[in-house]
Amino acid sequence: MKRLNLAGLLLLCIVALMGCVTEPESVRNTGGAIAIGSGASAPPASQPMAPPIDPMLNDPEAQTETWSDYVWADSEIEARRKCESLAQKATQDGGTTVTVIGVKKVGSGKKYECTFQGEVE
């Protein structure tokens, strides 16, 4: 049986370690981005993020107004959905962002009050 000298054993260990010390597959395939969570990763720096779908910007110094409208619904969830739909339509029609800031039931029937806020042009 041959005996390995100390230098040969050291060389063998270094070669074995060098084969194991490589970037994980998840890091190599993401262009350097670190994989987070369930396998999702940030896009590589060479791929810019897409701009927001709605290009309208809110002016924090703009004057705002608040108003109400009414919807009829079987539940508060349905009423909120209808209020959001009205806000979206008002945003498209008016050109400024309109948001729902409140939904509350009026009386004991199916009437709900939507409270909106939007910028004054």
pLDDT along the chain (121 residues), means of 10: 56 57 48 49 51 54 90 96 96 91 95 94 72
| Amino acid 61: pLDDT | 76
| Amino acid 18: pLDDT | 58
Rounded-to-integer distance, Cα 121 and Cα 119, Å: 6
The domains found in the chain, sorted by start residue, are 6-41 (no CATH), 64-119 (3.30.30)
**Which residues neighbour 21 within 8 Å (Cβ) at sequence distance 6 or greater?**
none
Residues of the chain above pLDDT 70, percent: 51
Per DSSP, the residues of 52-112 read PS------TTS-EEEEEEEEE-SSHHHHHHHHHHHHHHHHHHHSS-EEEEEEEE-TTSSEE
| Amino acid 3: pLDDT | 56
Give the global pTM. 0.51
| Amino acid 87: pLDDT | 96
Structure tokens at 120: 């004054």
Q: What is the largest CA-CA distance in the chain?
A: 96
| Amino acid 35: pLDDT | 47
| Amino acid 104: pLDDT | 96
Pairing, β 111-119 against β 35-36: unpaired
Residue 67 near residue 113 (C-beta atoms within 8 A): no
